[in-house]
Chains A and B, each alone.
Chain A
């Protein structure tokens, strides 16, 4: 027999705290689609995506209805296209992106990830073709997402790739100038990219993954915030250790939801269940914000002194609760602070509390840091590369994932607004100190792997 409290508290999380499953992502291996003939290659990709994903949306909706928990996004991640299409030209890879886009549309999903390359130790021919294809591919498609891993703790930082991505991001912004550089919102540059991220834009299916797999991204910043608010309203003198315990317990509940729904979707699709990604992922809706948690925990807004310590505590508590709730945890598993996608964080940036440097500091204690950060359109490729390099260094030295999703908004300056629409939201352009990093970036080469990589 359920207790009244169990039923009503669960309903409350659903109805007023935005409890949902943020994404169910079907990983589809395309390793068996390779061909020297571009047409055969693209036909195979389309057929495989359609055959495996044709019921994804329907099943997610049915399972969501059964438990009364909405599955907000249904998505697909595929094997890195730079690997499976290594022999193709950049023009053919642009066509491949269009095929991925159409296939995604046909199965009714909003994003497909995996237009990706892994170049931390060097750029192979397929990687170069793919990166060259990115500006056109991402500005001409709606649903395709790209990621490039330019660094790892084991390999160090491929500074040639970092510079190439700085230039590519600039080109992608120009190619999508009419939509404020929207193509860049679909490019993530990573250090230590996980193989099983369900969240976009970084999702791709790693080489070591099965033919098909379901990975789930849970969310719940609204649930965490309300739990903190309730606890503080009930007892004013709560200390941070007690609040950390409340966050941990809440993360447990949120993760159980993702695990239950992910397993049932996987079972109905007859594919293995992969991982739950324990990230607090916000949306541009009021009450579904990571930034609001900072205010509930006593800071004026995210970005003020104390923010890094608070985020460290929050991230750690979420992981502890989530790890207990799921047998298989993976992906990014950390709080997201995407500036444009979180209304509260976007406001902090607008008021000047959140600078590039503070975002970078926050990255040291969460999963992705410079995420959906709009910067002035005239920022040089070298400065963009240098910002990326700083971000990568934090990941490499701390044996963790970091990522940069920077949008140099064409024709706009710091303080102006960029509009991306939908889940990608809108953001005030943050100022950047430009022009002092060029010599360093142009040196190129690979920053060696740190001593902490020698763990064997």
Chain B
């Protein structure tokens, strides 16, 4: 798995819809274009939601993976 240079880590573990997306969107506002943001979540609904959110916003979802009960999303700001 590639190693990314993470500009910001957003911990949305324990939160449910829509807060992982809301927190990710807020984080995206404080990074630059091209920066990479990592989001951790435990809500299984976040998996389809981050794919949809990336399509809507135009940000690139570089990675969507899971480890035990934690989901990890790596997103590059458009």
Do these two chains really belong together in a complex? no
Residue ranges of B at the interface with A (Cβ–Cβ < 8 Å): none
- Chain A interface (Cβ within 8 Å of chain B)? none
